Structure 1
Amino acid sequence: MEFSDASTQAAAVLDRFAAPIGHAKHPFVLGISGLQGSGKSTLAAGLVAAAHERGWDAVWLSLDDAYLTLAEREALAADVHPLLRTRGVPGTHDLALLASTLDGLGKASPEAPVRLPRFDKGRDDRREPASWPSVTQPPRLVVFEGWCLGVEPAADASELIEPANALERAEDADGRWRRWVDGRLAAYLPIWARIDALVLLQAPSWDVVATWRDEAEEPLRRRGDPAAMDRAALSRFLQHYERISRRALETLDAKADLVIRLDAHRNAIAPW
């Protein structure tokens, strides 16, 4: 299915869930899961805008905004494994912050506002809470997006034995990091259970993710952004997520309420 623009696609997705959103007695949590570069942020922004056009209050919450602080991840790197300094994998998010935010949104008021966490990827650290957006009434819709939403731990520990890539072979030869990360996924399941409906942006393969992320990095490189990664650094960075990303590609389409299959150019493929 092709759309003239992203806003049209977002409106079509919202139409799919308009009835349950409209009848929900609590903020309806619409999850968006998709690998890096698949367009989660674009869809999330479009859904919030489309909800506002309907007269619905809506907010956007990203798994990326709930990372542990840099100091907390450095402590994990020292105590558990050096690879845990890099944000993104299970175990590097503040699940208590996510849970309290979702809890609070249903009771938000001017007297008890809820702040939505925000992370500064340039600084690799959480923004000051005083700068977080404030919500003063329960929204009808919470758009919650993240690269591994809905993914479960490995069904069999034997899946974790063989390294998935060069990073795991060289820097996690004994499997300690990948076993720890996979084990932490179990703690994410109560967060996933709060999702009322899940939309999956299904990439055609893991290999295309590197191309998508490289396209996103190129404007940063051109303007000399210190946070920009060259291709070698980007390749290493993405290998942190490859194992769980491949599991997402294999398992999430059976769990999602709506699967939007993408081609290599991120166009939606009919039907969905």
Structure 2
Amino acid sequence: MPKRDASTATDALAQRLLKSLSSRILAARHPFLLGLSGLQGSGKSMLAAALVRQARGRGWPAQTLSLDDVYLGRRARRERAARVHSLLRTRGVPGTHDLDLLRTTLDALAEASANRPVALPRFDKGRDTRRPPSRWPRVRVPPRLIVLEGWCIGVPAQSDAALRTSMNALERDEDADGRWRRYANDSLEAMQDLWKRLDALILLQAPDWPTVCRWRAQAEAPLRARGAPQAMNTTALRRFMQHYERLSRHALRTLPPRADIVIALDAARRVISFREKAVSRRRR
């Protein structure tokens, strides 16, 4: 889809979503926390930005937070890798995020003011570490809407039985005893209290895992063409994606019945269906 057409379609989708959720957002006595879940390449960052832009156009203070922005930096991941498992050097799976930072940021946003501005964490993927706090944007007004986006937002933990069998060559060769996947799953279990805070959950549902891998490869191609130092070749990208495969396949199966709104996409990221639950989510 051409970039301009994709942007127009995203704006139209954001408008439809805000229309659907507007009464709940306006009735909330706290910042409405909207989860936006989608696997790599599904367009969630673009949709999150469109939601915030259009919410502000309605006069609603709005902010977006990405799960990516609370990744642990390189040094912290190296320390965790040395202590738990070497695969934790690579950011991505639960266990490579700073959940306390995310919780405290969400709590603070409700009390944001000119005298108590809230800094929003930002991660620099090019440098593979968090930007200095002095460069984090400041929020000085409590938002009416917070869009929390990420690839595993809302995903439940797996059963012990599901963890016993290796998913791919990475798990078979580098996690033969299952220690890494169990740690990631325990960390995902620790995320469930964050998912309970969501006032609504939107899912951008990819067709399947091979399509997600193609989307990720499409995103990597321009970086290789520019000679970017962080660009991955085909072999490196295949290994990188295997870090995500287990929970991505799990998300494809388990998230649709959990989401308040499911937006099914085709291989070209076009919306092929929009399904909304009649029962609204309530914060616990």
Q: Please report the TM-score for the alignment, with normalisation by the length of structure 1.
A: 0.97
User: What is the rounded CA distance, in whole Å, between the counterparts of 2:22 and 2:219 in structure 1?
Assistant: 32
User: How do 1:53-64 residues align onto structure 2 when only pairs under 5 Å count?
Assistant: 53-64=57-68
1:168 equivalent to 2:152? Answer no
Post-superposition offset of 1:270: 2.7
Q: Secondary structure at the match of 2:157?
A: coil
- Equivalent residue number for residue 120 of structure 1: 124
- Report the aligned-residue RMSD: 1.2
CA deviations on 1:63-119 (whole Å, 9 max, x unpaired) are 000011211100011111000000110011000000000000000011111011000
* Offset, 1:194: 1.4
How many residue pairs are counted as aligned between the two chains?
A: 270
Match of 2:190 in 1: 187
Is the counterpart of residue 131 in structure 1 residue 135 in structure 2?
Answer: yes
Say yes or no: does 1:250 pair with 2:253: yes
1:34 aligns with 2:31: no
2:72 partner amino acid: L
How far does residue 168 in structure 1 lie from its aligned partner after superposition? 0.5
Question: Match for 2:69: what amino acid?
Answer: D
Determine whether 1:241 maps to 2:244.
Answer: yes
Q: Does 1:107 align with 2:111?
A: yes
| Alignment of structure 1 residues 205-224 onto 2, 5 Å | 205-224=208-227
SS of residue paired to 1:254 = coil
Q: Which of 69, 75, 79 is residue 71 of structure 1 equivalent to?
A: 75
SS at match of 2:273: coil
CA distance in 1, matches of 2:48, 2:232: 25
The 8 Å contact of residues 37 and 44 in structure 2, kept in 1 or not, is answered as: yes
Match of 1:25 in 2: 29
State the 4+ residue runs in structure 1 displaced beyond 4 angstroms: none
Matches within 5 A, 1:261-272: 261-272=264-275
Q: Distance in 2 between matches of 1:271 and 1:132?
A: 35
**Gaps spanning 5+ residues in structure 1: where?**
none
User: 2:229 pairs with 223, 226, 231, which one?
Assistant: 226
Query: Which residue matches 1:7?
Result: 11
Question: Offset at 1:239?
Answer: 0.5
Structure 1 distance, partners of 2:137, 2:34, is: 19
1:22 positional shift = 1.2
Tell me the distance in 1 between the aligned counterparts of 2:111 and 2:267.
Answer: 42
The percentage of aligned residue pairs carrying the same residue is 57
Distance 2:274 2:10 in 1: 17
Unmatched tracts of structure 2, length 5 or more: 276-284
